[in-house]
Amino acid sequence: MLASVAMQLLSTGTTSMAVASPPSAARQAVTVSGLYVDPQLPAARWVAAHPTDKRAAAIRAAISRQPMAHWFTGTSDADLGKAVTKYTRSAQIAGKTPVLVAYNLPGRDACGAESAGGAAGAAAYKQWMTTFATGIGVRPAIVILEPDALGDFSCMTPAQVSTRLGLLNAATRTLAAKAPNTWTYIDAGHANWTDPATMADRLLSAGVARAHGFAVNVSNFIATTDSRRYAEQVKTALHRPAAYVIDTSRNGNGGNGQWCNPAGRKLGKRSTANPAALELWIANPGNSDGRCGVAPTIKAGVFSPALAQRLITGGR
CA within 13 Å, CB half, 243? 18
Is there a binding annotation on residue 259? yes
The C-alpha torsion from 26 through 27 and 30 to 36, rounded to 10°, is: 80
Q: Which of 148, 152, 187, 247 is catalytic?
A: 148
Local structure of 256: helix, strand or coil = coil
Find, among 260, 300, 267, the residue nearest to 285 by Cα: 267
CA distance linking residue 264 with residue 96, whole number of Å: 33
Is there a binding annotation on residue 181? no
Is there a binding annotation on residue 70? no
Q: Catalytic: 187?
A: no
Is there a binding annotation on residue 128? no
Q: Which of 152, 187, 247, 289 is catalytic?
A: 289
Is there a binding annotation on residue 183? no
Q: Catalytic: 201?
A: no
CA distance linking residue 157 with residue 149, whole number of Å: 14
CA distance linking residue 179 with residue 174, whole number of Å: 8
Find, among 278, 129, 289, 285, the residue nearest to 215 by Cα: 278
Annotated binding site for substrate: 71, 190, 193, 220, 259
User: What residues act catalytically?
Assistant: 148, 289
Annotated binding site: 71, 190, 193, 220, 259
